[in-house]
Every structure is written in structure tokens, then in C-alpha cells.
């Protein structure tokens, strides 16, 4: 930390004031967490950088306002300059699992059954995190039914760079998919070893660069791809997508148990198609029931990240290759995705810090 002083304002007083700010997830003050950096004091002008654990911090503005208020209240302070930055925490390395170079956190998005909107959630979460300022990648692991190229609006064949595949980019997100390599409408009739081989290529032979988050859109169920992902790479955790119906929730519970059995941290449950709001009268209808995702999260003691409304815009935006958080950012669905993305980022930071503390 730099420190220059020509006034009565002391460095220790500034840090003491800022130590009153407690991170609600990490349960420690921001000074001891190392979030206050580059502190400078000159003629009563105080400046510092507030380094968050993620650019998608859900209380970023609250942190900044509180820091400014506390330091401004000190005797001798004439002006306070706060620069907000982020240094994303990195998931724990696991000796028997090979990390992806440059990727800080890999998040598996899964579901117990098909048709619950898992790929829609994956694409929108990736774009939402990118909109928050994070460096994000998206890997379509659904080898048999790859939909990410359509949803991201780019189906160009990827090109190689020596031995590496260069991912496509759309809406600030780098992505790869088997759908970019196979012809339209051509089914892949593959068994376990071939699935494992192509997934290894998509993971380790792609030039991802530096990423804060790599969102992995897994196929539904608990088959070969899920096993390969959980055994090959160190995962920051998994997100389970469900809808409110009993049949979907039953499968979602299986998805949660599967992640727990393979010792993957469950970062949370997302309830898609949670409710419908009539665009004409504003009346809310719970077409597929409601609240099952939250009840499941309580039963298994895992976070509930939020519910996403049933909106026509979600489908329309996905079909034209512009996820709703990009194409209709003010819509209720986009706001729900943005909030879920912030909560997800907070859960990742919390999980990473808990691992560090336990070590």
C-alpha cells in the first residue's frame, strides 16, 4: 500500500474506520480480507481501491457508499476517492483433477430432466456475469443436443490456432459447442469413450485465455458426461435447474444428490418458469405450481438462487441468438437472471474462502 501524508489524517484511522464494514458472506471485515488497497492520503484527500471478490458482487454499491461515508466522517478528511475493482477468487485445486489453464472457476449447470430450460439459464447466466464485468466462457457439454450456438447467435465453425481451438465470442462471452463442429440435423450416435474424448478436447484444447468463470452447460440426467466432468476437472460447484412441477423437482433432487455424492459443492438451485405475470393486467399466475425449488433447497440445505418468470421474451430472445439479459435488459426475466448471477458469484466467493479458511 502506498501512503503519503501532509495532513492530520492518519493511515491507521482510515483503516480502522473501514474495518467496520463486514462482508456478510465471508463474515470478516474488508480490511482483514485485504479488500482495501493502494491507500493514499495527501492534504486531506483520501483515495483507495476497494477490491471485491467478484465484479458481480450483489452489494457493490452498498460497499462503496459505506466506505465513502465512514472515511468522510474522519477529522481532517476533505475528499474521498474510491475506486471499485475486483479480484475473483479461484477454486481449490484437486491433485487428481486437471485444471484448465487460465480459468479461475468452473461452474456446472445441470438438471435432473430435460425441458426445464437449463441451456437458457446457462446462456443467460454467462451473459449476465459478463455484463457485470467478469471474464466469462461457456462450454456446451450437451453433445447430443447442443443448443448454445443458436442461443448465442453465432454458429460459425471455430478455427484452430496450432493445436488449440479458438472459441467463438458473442455478447462478451467466449463459447464452444459440439454444435459448431457437426452439421445441422445430423445426430451424433456415440457411446461413452467417444463422449469422453470430445469433452476432453472441448475442455483442454480450447484457447480460453484468462477467465473468471467458465459456465458448463451439462446435458440432463446423471450419465457419462456428468461423470466425466466431475472426475476430470476441479469444479467450483454446480447449479441445479428445475421447474416447479413435482416430476421436475423429483429429478432435481436426484441432481443435487448426484453432485453431493461426487463431492461437488452445490452452489444453488434455480427455479425456471417459476410464475407468469400477465402483461395486460399484471396478475401473477403460478401455472406450474410455485415454491418447489425453494423447498428443495431447504431440504438439502443448499442455497436457493432465485426464480425466473415464464416470459415469451425469454424464448424469443433465445431463438434469435440474443439472450434476454442482452436483448431486453429491463424485463423482469432479465432482472431475475442478473440477480441470480450476482448471488451465484457471491456463493462461489464464499465457497472459495471457506476452503481457504479450512486449510
Q: Is the pLDDT of residue 196 over 80?
A: no
The pLDDT of residue 289: 65
Contact of 82 with 69, CB cutoff 8 Å? no
Q: How far is CA 126 from CA 35, 207, 219, 306, in A?
A: 25, 18, 17, 16
| CA gap 270, 243 in Å, rounded | 8
Angle at 214 between CA 115 and CA 61, to 5 degrees: 100
pTM reported for the whole predicted model: 0.88
The pLDDT of residue 188: 55
Q: Is the pLDDT of residue 291 over 90?
A: no
In this structure, of 98-112, 164-178, 270-284, 312-326, the range with the lowest mean pLDDT score is 270-284
The pLDDT of residue 347: 95
The pLDDT of residue 145: 73
Please give the average per-residue pLDDT across 118-136, as a whole number.
96
Q: What is the pLDDT of residues 34-62, one digit of tens each?
A: 999 999 999 999 999 999 999 999 899 99
Residue that has been written with the C-alpha cell 477529522 in this structure: 75
In this structure, of 82-91, 239-248, 323-332, the range with the lowest mean pLDDT score is 239-248
Please give the average per-residue pLDDT across 189-214, as a whole number.
81
| CA gap 84, 94 in Å, rounded | 31
Task: At 316, list the grid cell.
Answer: 424469443
Q: What is the pLDDT of residues 62-78, one digit of tens each?
A: 999 999 999 999 999 99
The pLDDT of residue 6: 46
pLDDT-derived band at 336, boundaries 50, 70, 90: very high
The pLDDT of residue 186: 58
Q: Is the pLDDT of residue 98 over 80?
A: yes
**Most confident among 135-139, 215-219, 275-279, 290-294 (mean pLDDT):** 135-139
Q: Is the pLDDT of residue 4 over 50?
A: no
Average predicted confidence (pLDDT) for the chain: 87
| CA gap 292, 305 in Å, rounded | 13
243: left (phi over 0), alpha (psi -120 to 50) or beta: beta
Q: What is the pLDDT of residues 163-185, one digit of tens each?
A: 898 999 999 999 998 777 665 65
Please give the average per-residue pLDDT across 87-92, as a whole number.
89
The pLDDT of residue 243: 86
Cβ-in-10-Å burial (0-12, 13-18, 19+) of 251 comes to buried
The pLDDT of residue 3: 44
Q: What is the 3-state secondary structure (H, E, C) of 45-57?
A: EEEEEEEECCCCC
Beta carbons within 8 Å of 172's beta carbon, 6+ residues apart:
127, 130, 131, 136
Residues in the chain: 359
Task: At 221, list the grid cell.
Answer: 440426467
Give the residue, 120 or 178, on which the prediction is more confident.
120
| CA gap 167, 140 in Å, rounded | 12
The pLDDT of residue 198: 79
Find, among 61, 108, 115, the residue nearest to 264 by Cα: 108
Amino acid at each position: 500500500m502506498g501512503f503519503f501524508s501532509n495532513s492530520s489524517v492518519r493511515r491507521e484511522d482510515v483503516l480502522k474506520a473501514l474495518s467496520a464494514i463486514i462482508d456478510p458472506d465471508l463474515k470478516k471485515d474488508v480490511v482483514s480480507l485485504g479488500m482495501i488497497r493502494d491507500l493514499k492520503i495527501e492534504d486531506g484527500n483520501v483515495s483507495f481501491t476497494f477490491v471485491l471478490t467478484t465484479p458481480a458482487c450483489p452489494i457493490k454499491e452498498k460497499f462503496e457508499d459505506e466506505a465513502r461515508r465512514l472515511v468522510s466522517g474522519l477529522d481532517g478528511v476533505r475528499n474521498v476517492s474510491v475506486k471499485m475493482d475486483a479480484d475473483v477468487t479461484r477454486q481449490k485445486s484437486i491433485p487428481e483433477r486437471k485444471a484448465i489453464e487460465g480459468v479461475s472457476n468452473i461452474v456446472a449447470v445441470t438438471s435432473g430432466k430435460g425441458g426445464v430450460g437449463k441451456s437458457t439459464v446457462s446462456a443467460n447466466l454467462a451473459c449476465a456475469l459478463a455484463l457485470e464485468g467478469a471474464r466469462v466462457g461457456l462450454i456446451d457439454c450437451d453433445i447430443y443436443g447442443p443448443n448454445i450456438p443458436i442461443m448465442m447467435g453465432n454458429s460459425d465453425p471455430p478455427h484452430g490456432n496450432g493445436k488449440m481451438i479458438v472459441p467463438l465470442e458473442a455478447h462478451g462471452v467466449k463459447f464452444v459447442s459440439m454444435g459448431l463442429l457437426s452439421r445441422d440435423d445430423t445426430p451424433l450416435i456415440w457411446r461413452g469413450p467417444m463422449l469422453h474424448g470430445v469433452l476432453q478436447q472441448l475442455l483442454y484444447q480450447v484457447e480460453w485465455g484468462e477467465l473468471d468463470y467458465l459456465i458448463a452447460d451439462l446435458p440432463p440426467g446423471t450419465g457419462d458426461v456428468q461423470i466425466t466432468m466431475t472426475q476430470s476437472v476441479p469444479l467450483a460447484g454446480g447449479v441445479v435447474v428445475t421447474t416447479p412441477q413435482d416430476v421436475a423437482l423429483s429429478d432435481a433432487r436426484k441432481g443435487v444428490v448426484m453432485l453431493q455424492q461426487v463431492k461437488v459443492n452445490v452452489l444453488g438451485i434455480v427455479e425456471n418458469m417459476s410464475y407468469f405475470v400477465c402483461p395486460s393486467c399484471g396478475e401473477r399466475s403460478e401455472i406450474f405450481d410455485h415454491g418447489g425449488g425453494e423447498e428443495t433447497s431447504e431440504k438439502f440445505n443448499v442455497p436457493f438462487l432465485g426464480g425466473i418468470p415464464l416470459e415469451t421474451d425469454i424464448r424469443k430472445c433465445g431463438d434469435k441468438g440474443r439472450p434476454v439479459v442482452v436483448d431486453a435488459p429491463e424485463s423482469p426475466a432479465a432482472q431475475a437472471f442478473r440477480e441470480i448471477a450476482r448471488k451465484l458469484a457471491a456463493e462461489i466467493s464464499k465457497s472459495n474462502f471457506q476452503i481457504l479458511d479450512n486449510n
